[in-house]
Amino acid sequence: MPVNLTVTDPSQLHAVPGVRIGVAMAGVRKANRRDLVLFALEAGSTVAGVFTSNRFCAAPVQLCREHLAGPEGQHIRALLVNTGNANAGTGADGLARARRSCVSLAALMGVKPEQVLPFSTGVIMETLPVERIEAGLPAALAALNASGWADAATGIMTTDTLPKAVSRQVMIGGHQVTITGISKGAGMIRPNMATMLGFIATDAVFAPATAQSLVQALVRDAADQSFNRITIDGDTSTNDSLMLVATHQAGHAPITSLDSADGKALRDAVVAVAQQLAQAIVRDGEGATKFITVQVQGGRDEAECKLAAYAITHSPLVKTAFFASDPNLGRILAAVGYAGITDLDQGLIDLYLDDVHVVTQGGRHTAYREEDGQRVMKQSEITVRVDLHRGPAQTTVWTCDLSHDYVSINADYRS
């Protein structure tokens, strides 16, 4: 039951000139479901990405890094995504199978295998049925069209209950620039570089000499402000990947710096798209019934704010209290206390639930009434604000609650 998440009308998902999308049914794990998504990019496009920090990264992630760092890294022509199998924990055999999918697609497209980036999501530690993916490629190629974003958003879903797609247009140098993106991922979500899978494309124009570095900086910045601030269960996936494609077709004067007026306008739009996609993942978090924003302020640096924010958002006790709409708010204090800020003074802490001042100087506020906490806890969107009162830094993390359905979904995922 996603929290205040609706499916974007396909007519609102603007095509990005230079990007065509084909979706097919390859039967990777189950028959009769769209499980293969192909992005074909015009020659001259720039692609950059951020990937999981998990040391047990999947074979496709290893191959993406290799291809992007190699001689064809600035000439990527295709992104190939399958669901149903993560091709992670599969050793050298998994790497060979991911490579074979690139070779087969490249042959059909008339490009080099190193110009293809592979992505996989699904069950870990099972052999990738690459022959099924190969068999599905002709259908995906035949389906290529510029308006396939809605189908792609559906095609990359696993335990997601709704597809996630966002589109936005901004004016840059008198030209309309489009940013459209999709994401998936409802469990194993504590991205540390990106969500399980996110793809954003724009036709914004960058100067060729600096295009790669600027697009890379932009995707890193966007990830840090969006996918790196969400958590569902604290599990950092083996397959997290966020990709940003720039096709340079919008017609405006090339952007040469992200700090210029045009660069900032684009960055704001890309970050907004990324944040909306990231928040959509939380809203559709496995078993989620509440969308929770945790703001920690008054830290000495952002790192310690993050320690506190993630301690709160990873605590099963805090998350079950939200599920129960129970203002058992001492659990939040306890989480802040064990977050790892070694010289924290509990006597300085303030805690607010939306507009309700719950804790002051580390103890219950005399004006706090249980019914006020109860009123906020019953809402579907809640903001927790903690003030550490020891410095100027702050951070924000988005999460959901922990419900019976989370257990059911993850106990039943493979059956």
**Which residues sit opposite 197 in a β-bridge?**
184, 241
Q: Report the alpha-carbon distance of residue 329 to residue 334 in Å, rounded.
A: 9
Contact status: 407 vs its own copies (CB under 8 A): yes
# residues near its own copies by CB under 8 A: 73
Residue type, 352: Y
- Tokens 């052999």 belong to 127
Contact status: 330 vs its own copies (CB under 8 A): yes
**Closest to 97 measured CA to CA, from 134, 70, 67:** 134
Shortest CB 338 distance to its own copies, Å: 4
For its own copies, the binding residue among 125, 135, 144, 162 (CB under 8 A) is 125
Shortest CB 231 distance to its own copies, Å: 11
Contact status: 329 vs its own copies (CB under 8 A): yes
Contact status: 344 vs its own copies (CB under 8 A): yes
Contact status: 404 vs its own copies (CB under 8 A): yes
Q: Report the alpha-carbon distance of residue 191 to residue 204 in Å, rounded.
A: 26
Closer CB to its own copies, residue 178 or residue 238? 238
For its own copies, the binding residue among 131, 338, 378, 380 (CB under 8 A) is 338
DSSP 195-234: -SEEEEEE---B-GGGHHHHHHHHHHHHHHTTGGGEESSS
For its own copies, the binding residue among 235, 302, 354, 372 (CB under 8 A) is 235
Q: How far is CA 246 from the centre of its chain?
A: 18
Contact status: 334 vs its own copies (CB under 8 A): yes
Does residue 159 have an active-site annotation?
A: no
Shortest CB 164 distance to its own copies, Å: 21
How would you list the strands of the sheet with 19-24, edge to edge?
19-24, 36-41, 78-83, 116-121
**Closest to 361 measured CA to CA, from 376, 379, 374, 348:** 348
Contact status: 110 vs its own copies (CB under 8 A): no
| Segment interacting with its own copies (CB under 8 A) among 67-75, 147-155, 212-220, 398-406 | 398-406
**Closest to 257 measured CA to CA, from 300, 207, 307, 222:** 207
Residue type, 46: T
Closer CB to its own copies, residue 277 or residue 321? 321
Q: Report the alpha-carbon distance of residue 237 to residue 241 in Å, rounded.
A: 9
Contact status: 323 vs its own copies (CB under 8 A): yes
Q: Report the alpha-carbon distance of residue 265 to residue 171 in Å, rounded.
A: 8
- List the interface residues with its own copies, window 183-202 (CB under 8 A): 187-188, 190, 192
Catalytic residue among 8, 121, 195, 289: 195
* Rg, C-alpha atoms of the chain: 22
Closer CB to its own copies, residue 22 or residue 122? 122
| Segment interacting with its own copies (CB under 8 A) among 105-113, 198-206, 291-299, 327-335 | 327-335
DSSP 290-313: -EEEEEEEEESSHHHHHHHHHHHH
| Segment interacting with its own copies (CB under 8 A) among 8-16, 36-44, 98-106, 407-415 | 407-415
| Segment interacting with its own copies (CB under 8 A) among 41-49, 219-227, 265-273, 323-331 | 323-331
CB atoms inside a 10 Å sphere around CB 363:
12
Shortest CB 297 distance to its own copies, Å: 17
Contact status: 63 vs its own copies (CB under 8 A): no
For its own copies, the binding residue among 167, 236, 247, 313 (CB under 8 A) is 236
Shortest CB 47 distance to its own copies, Å: 25
Exposed/middle/buried for residue 175 (C-beta within 10 Å: 0-12, 13-18, 19+)? middle
**Which residues sit opposite 121 in a β-bridge?**
83, 85
Q: Report the alpha-carbon distance of residue 376 to residue 379 in Å, rounded.
A: 5
- List the interface residues with its own copies, window 363-392 (CB under 8 A): 363-364
Contact status: 88 vs its own copies (CB under 8 A): yes
Helix (H, G, I), strand (E, B) or coil at 242: strand
Closer CB to its own copies, residue 18 or residue 122? 122
Contact status: 55 vs its own copies (CB under 8 A): yes
Contact pattern for its own copies over residues 67 through 86, marking x by CB under 8 A: -------------------x
- Rounded to whole angstroms, the maximal C-alpha distance in the chain is 72
| Segment interacting with its own copies (CB under 8 A) among 163-171, 256-264, 268-276, 318-326 | 318-326
Task: State the catalytic residues.
Answer: 195
